[in-house]
Amino acid sequence: MIIAVDGPTASGKGTISKALAAHYGLPFLDTGLLYRAVGQQLALNGGNADVAADALAVCAFPDALLDDPVLRNEEVGGLASRVSVHPAVRAALNQRQVDFANQAGGAVLDGRDIGTVIAPHADVKLFVTASAEVRAHRRYEEMLSRGLDVDFDNILADIRLRDERDAGRAEAPLKAAENAILLDTGDLTIGAAVQRAIELVDTRRENRS
């Protein structure tokens, strides 16, 4: 079984995807980490995220970089959004994602274009979302809990900018697949969102059988 989970930043799709993978005993890939790794390697090399050639040159980053906690930083997230607009970068990383999705037994993948590009044949497609304000508040609280000095308005502005960039790019824009199930987590706790996701997956599987 292949489960595709798409949605904007801070929507809860990562937490939900990990929970689904654990619940159904499937391997999990956070595809956003691939783009974050490219962004971080680019920063380490002193490249420009808005220059396609610079970003493409670091797509062969070492696997160990995926385990670096720095990839979760907001600055790296912004770089990931910028490098992801380059078609050549997406092409370089797509095969890695496709191979993961098509492994024996299936998998759970979360990202921006899993249901539309990477695994359009997925058995279940979820599109997880919430308002920009809700997502900004979540990110704000998360960063405060990590002892970081942050400004809510700056976070909200950054999230809106990422949404615009991700949805407006020419190559594989952020959007729900035609047959994706919408899951709005705005009014849900983490536990309730995960439970709802499981219910949606089970219902889709039953309807397909």
Candidates 3.40.50.300, 3.40.50.10780, 1.10.357.10, 3.10.180.10; CATH matching 2-208: 3.40.50.300
115-129: per-residue pLDDT in tens? 999 999 999 999 999
Task: Mark the ranges of the chain whose per-residue pLDDT is less than 70.
Answer: 209
How confident is the model at residue 11, as a pLDDT? 95
* CA atoms of 129 and 110, how far apart (whole Å): 13
Report domain extents, the chain.
Answer: 2-208
How confident is the model at residue 209, as a pLDDT? 64
The two counts, helices (H) then strands (E), for the chain are: 8, 5
Q: What pTM, to 2 d.p., does this model score?
A: 0.86
